[in-house]
Amino acid sequence: MDAHASVGHAELEIPYNVHPRPDTGVYNAKLGIWLFLASEVMLFGALFSSLILLRTGADSWPRGYDMLNVPLATFNTFILILSSVTVVMAWSHLRLGNLLKGRIYISVTILCALIFLVNKGFEYSHEFREGRFPKTNNFLAIYFTMTGLHGLHILGGVIVFLYFLGPGAKMWAHDPERYTNRIEVVGLYWHFVDLVWIFLFPILYLM
Amino acid sequence: MGLRRQIRVGSQWMYADEAHRALREALRVMDDEHGEHGGHHQSWIRRYVFSTDHKWIGIQYGFTALCFLLLGFCLMILMRLQLGWPGQPFGVMKLLGATRAPGGILLPEAYNQLGAMHGTIMIFLGIVPLAVGAFGNYLVPLQIGAPDMAFPKLNMASYWCYLPGGLIMLASFLAPGGTAQSGWTSYPPLSVIASQGQTWWLIGMVFLITSSLLGSVNFIVTIVQLRAKGLSYMRFPFFVHAQFVTSFLLLLAFPPLEAAAVLQLMDRVAGTSFFLPSGLVVSGQVLTNAGGGNPLLWQHLFWFLAHPEVYVLILPAMGIVAEIIANGTRKPLWGYKSMVFATVFLGFMSFVVWAHHMFLTGMGTTISAFFQTTTMIISIPSVIILSSLFISLWGGSIRFTTPMLFALAFLPMFGIGGLTGLPLGLAAADIHLHDTYYVIGHFHYVVAPGTIFAMFAGIYYWFPKATGRKLNEFWGRVHFWISFVCINGIFFPMFAQGLAGVSRRLYDGGMQYQHAKQIAAQTNPFMSICAIGLLAAQVPFIFNFFYNAIAAAFGHRDEGLGSNPWGATTMEWAATTSPPLAHGNFEVLPVVYRGPYEYSVPGSEVDFIPQHQPTAIEPAPRGGLLPEKAVAMREN
């Protein structure tokens, strides 16, 4: 409470910040994140379209399974799916009023994300050692661009989760519902990031 | 006695309007006391620099965007000097430096820089931030009865992405080799092999896209979630609908450009070949890139944004004009519902017309036929909106105030711009007209005497809301009439030039070509003189604007202006003070009881009934208006 009391005066009460508006059924941030995800669909959609256009226009197209590490990427896929489950667990424990378990599951989610990023780092450094760079050919160009952008999204998620694990968790003391909402919203984002990978993995590695 | 609602305040029954007045007075006193003692919780920086108040952010956006508009206009003046009198030295050109204009004579590559940055600045740094960032930010929460935007901090972040984006664009003039010079469309392969300024352009663009993303999410959530009780969608002022659809366009159309910018950045920085075909020869050298890329990919991604972007430029303008016309004619808008549905339809259709910019890329007749058809279809909702606005004038007792003059001028000007677009949307006619001055004339009619006039109308109309002062009417009229004449003098001859086959982007305006020489010599000096006249016409506006803005900043309000000087029905006028309360806009969040444009309701004693007015006004005792009552209502 004390941290917020000092700025509490300056902050305006915005309606439906925490509780859903009856006629729309959502609170503000939930609608906001869905809209943001819609724009993300357009961003990755444009990149997937570019990939299709480049591939259909190319005389020959390298296959991902010939040069990329498919087993490691499969492992990464499962890690990300696991992290999607743990973020839901975190949210449901917070809904039940258990901050400790909520935090444990947030930590597991962060751990999964970091494992994913480290594996990605191994993959990248392997490619570079083999002399395969974005400029080598258009397959590698789109591979590095899309997985790089996806990796940045993962990194962004990790930073947000770390914030909610640490300083952001203070909100639990005075507004647990709002804190739970925040985890729900970042969870929606996290599911989207996973979903992008679910598309990236077969298209870049298996097809 | 008429119908006066009574409410219980504490243990006492009071008339609702008296209670309202007492509450307002109490709040005012509290505010005053607060200001003396404890009102300094917010530091100067939080209040004026990193403000989260949508009104102040709107003003920040507006001021910055107007500065960029003037800058973009000045770049155009330099270009027009060169076009009007090719190769002549001009003193002002020396401002560009010896590398761009040695001895005051503009170099061709510098002309390309001016052209690219004129387009970029006007569209991405001028009009969109002014139409959406400034007008949308300031007015939408007020018009829907909300205390602020749904996410005030994101709103602040949106401005603080826009400003660095703009500054990066400006800084690119200092880059080695100058700023971007591949047109505002940045077509590859030219843009990929261009000098460093293009990289800065792309980075600036990423900032601007982020800014508009944050803004559009905020607008949609605000409109859906924070609209006042009783404000159903069909009670929205038309301006809110326009901003709503615009936000969806920004939200969904900008990300593909962000993707394209990332790909072009990769091409330029990491050496990839997304947009570079194999075996490209530059200055006699074969490029060593991997190749296999596709320059058309950029065009598709770019126009997937940039066609909806055209509607981002025009829809808020239509919204502003609709508000002012309803108010200035003292009539409800004719065909409000069809205007709303037309706007929504326009939004959907704007996503499936983009390739009409690419008829000459050889994409095949089937695809051309498809995009030609969708383009013809999208003209229908525009015509519905424009016709409704025209018919709205019929039988109105029009008040020719300065905002109304600009709004009225918008109608035929946008009409010319829209109708001249039809030949461009037909693939066969476009073969002749593509990339000529006809195209420039067409879209400038839409955006300059169209959108920018609507922006001026909006500034004159809502200036009293933001400051409590009215802009001077006489100088407003001077501003309007000179601008109106000059702007047509610039853009109308462009149609003739284009039909005669004069290409755009020519450094000398076409003097080097036999077929273009004659018409270029006949029209270009006249157009350039008109451009200078247009610049001169902005001087009274700039003085008018700053004189009144500064006076307002020092607390000088127009006495007797009241909070609703135009007698408007919408809540930003009728339910708040001028300027509205710094915190939360309204003393009490309003409840909406009626549609947006209840002007001249038969039987009503005043000619407007605000949206939040609960009960029908009692009929006048012996017919006719009671002027003092009307004035009293406006004061409220």
Q: What is the DSSP string of B15-63?
A: EHHHHHHHHHHHHHHHHHHHHHTTTTSS-HIIIIIS---HHHHHHHHHH
Contacts of B506 (CB under 8 A, 6+ apart): B512, B513, B516
Q: CB atoms < 10 A from the CB of B313, how many?
A: 23
pLDDT tens per residue, range B511-543: 999 999 999 999 999 999 999 999 999 999 999
User: B289 at the A interface (CB within 8 A)?
Assistant: yes
Task: Please judge whether A135 and B292 are an interchain contact, meaning their C-beta atoms are less than 8 angstroms apart.
Answer: no
Q: Which of B299, B188, B271 is nearest to A137 (CA)?
A: B271
Residue B43 has a pLDDT of 83
Q: Does the pLDDT at position B628 exceed 80?
A: no
CB < 8 Å to A43, chain B = 255-256, 258-259
Domain ranges of chain B: 1-29, 53-229, 568-636
Alpha-carbon distance values, B430 to A137, B213, B502, B586 (Å): 36, 33, 14, 52
Q: What percent of chain B has pLDDT over 70?
A: 91
Q: Residue ranges of chain A with pLDDT lower than 50?
A: 1-10
Domain harbouring A124, CATH code: 1.20.120.80
In B, which residues are within 8 Å of A31 by CB distance?
Answer: 220-221, 224-225
How far is Cα B218 from Cα B215, in angstroms, rounded to an integer?
5
Whether A169 is covered by a domain: the verdict is: yes
Q: What is the pLDDT of residues A70-105, one digit of tens each?
A: 999 999 999 999 999 999 999 999 999 999 999 999
Structure tokens at B387: 């016709």
Nearest CB among A35, A46, A137 relative to B221 is that of: A35
CB < 8 Å to A36, chain B: 213, 217
List of chain A residues whose C-beta atoms are within 8 Å of the C-beta of residue B146: 15
Q: Which two tokens stand for residue B167?
A: 């500054």
d(CA A3, CA A173): 11
CB contact under 8 A, B262 and A149: yes
- Residue B34 is predicted with a pLDDT of 55
Mutate to test the interface with B, among A11, A56, A128, A145 (most CBs of B within 10 A): A145
- Answer yes or no: pTM beyond 0.80: yes
**Whether B274 contacts chain A with CB within 8 A:** yes
For residues B476 and B42, the model is more confident at B476
pLDDT digits 0-9 by tens, B340-352: 999 999 999 999 9
CB atoms within 10 A of CB B539: 13
Q: Is the pLDDT of residue B36 over 50?
A: no
CA distance B466 to B56: 9
| Res B582: pLDDT | 85
CA distance to B157, B438, B583, per residue, from B563 (Å): 30, 45, 17
Pairing of strands B281-282, B285-286: antiparallel
Q: Does A28 touch chain B (CB under 8 A)?
A: yes
Residue (of A162, A64, A89, A156) closest to A117 by Cα position: A156
Please give the C-alpha separations between residue A46 and each of A49, A119, B293, B300, B333, in angstroms, as whole numbers. 5, 26, 16, 10, 39
Predicted local distance difference test score (pLDDT) of residue B562: 86
Q: Look up the ipTM and state it.
A: 0.93
Asked if B293 has any chain A CB less than 8 Å from its own CB, the reply is: yes
**Structure tokens of A107?**
């930590």
Chain segment B222-236, per-residue pLDDT in tens: 999 999 999 999 999
Q: How many Å lie between the alpha carbon of B56 and the closest alpha carbon of chain A? A: 15
- Optimal mutation site among A135, A139, A196, interface B, most CBs of chain B within 10 A: A135
Given pLDDT bands bounded at 50, 70 and 90, which one contains residue B614?
A: confident
Is the pLDDT at B38 greater than 50, yes or no? Answer: no
- Residues B273-293: what's their mean pLDDT? 89
**If DSSP codes are grouped into helix, strand and coil, which group holds residue B636?**
coil
For residue A16, is it within any domain?
no
pLDDT, position B23: 72
Give the residue-averaged pLDDT of B7-31. 67
pLDDT at residue B287 in the model = 87
pLDDT of A13: 84
If pLDDT is split at 50, 70 and 90, which confidence band does B1 have?
Answer: very low
**pLDDT band, very low/low/confident/very high, at B616 (cuts 50, 70, 90):** low
Q: Above 80 in pLDDT, residue B249?
A: yes
Q: Is the Cβ–Cβ distance between B330 and B599 less than 8 Å?
A: yes
Residues in chain A: 207
Note whether A39 contacts B41, CB cutoff 8 Å: no
Between the alpha carbon of residue A182 and those of residues A17, A186, A201, B46, B148, the distances in Å are 11, 6, 29, 25, 21
Euclidean distance between CA atoms A155 and A110, whole angstroms? 10
Task: Give yes or no for a contact between B373 and B267, defined as CB atoms under 8 angstroms apart.
Answer: no
* Closest residue to B213, CB basis, from A15, A31, A39: A39
> A141 touching B, CB under 8 A?
yes
**In angstroms, rounded to a whole number, what is the distance separating the alpha carbons of residues B215 and A78?**
36
Query: How high does pLDDT run on average in chain B?
Result: 91
Which of A10, A139, A196, A117 has the alpha carbon at shortest distance from B50? A10
**pLDDT tens track for B429-450:** 999 999 999 999 999 999 999 9
- Among A163-177, B355-369, B432-446, B615-629, which is the least confidently predicted range? B615-629
- Tell me how far apart the alpha carbons of residues A118 and A132 are, in angstroms, rounded to a whole number: 19
- Kindly state the tokens that stand for B590: 């309003």
A23-26 long-range contacts (CB < 8 A, ≥24 apart) are: A24/B224, A24/B225, A26/B225
Average pLDDT over residues B558-566: 88
Residue B620: the pLDDT is 47
Mean pLDDT, residues B537-561: 93
The pLDDT tens digits of the residues spanning B577-588 come to 888 988 889 988
A18 within some domain: no
Size of interface A-B (CB pairs under 8 A): 136
- Rounded to the nearest angstrom, the gap between the alpha carbon of residue A158 and the centroid of all alpha carbons in its chain is 8
Contact assignment for A46 to B272 by CB distance below 8 Å: no
Partners of B268 in the β-ladder: none
Q: Which domain holds residue A193?
A: 25-59+69-206
| B-proximal residues of A, 84-113, CB under 8 Å | none
Q: Given CB atoms, is A148 within the 8 Å cutoff of chain B? A: no
Which of A17, A23, A47 is the mutation pick for testing B, counting most B CBs within 10 A?
Answer: A47
- Of B117-121, B401-405, B572-576, B627-631, the poorest mean pLDDT is in B627-631
Within chain A, what is the greatest distance between any pair of CA atoms?
65
Return the pLDDT at B11. Answer: 59
Contacts of A14 in chain B (CB under 8 A): 147-148, 150-152, 226
Name the more confident of B104 and B627.
B104
**Residue A182 counted as domain residue:** yes
- Cβ pair B243, B132 in contact under 8 A: yes
Number of domains in chain A: 1
For B378-423, the pLDDT digits (tens) are: 999 999 999 999 999 999 989 999 999 999 999 999 999 999 999 9
Note the pLDDT of residue B40: 47
What pLDDT score was predicted for residue A49?
96
Task: Compute the nearest-CA separation of A21 from chain B (Å).
Answer: 7
Return d(Cα B457, Cα B131) in angstroms, integer. Answer: 12
pLDDT at A128: 96
Residue with tokens 């829907």, as numbered in its chain: B144
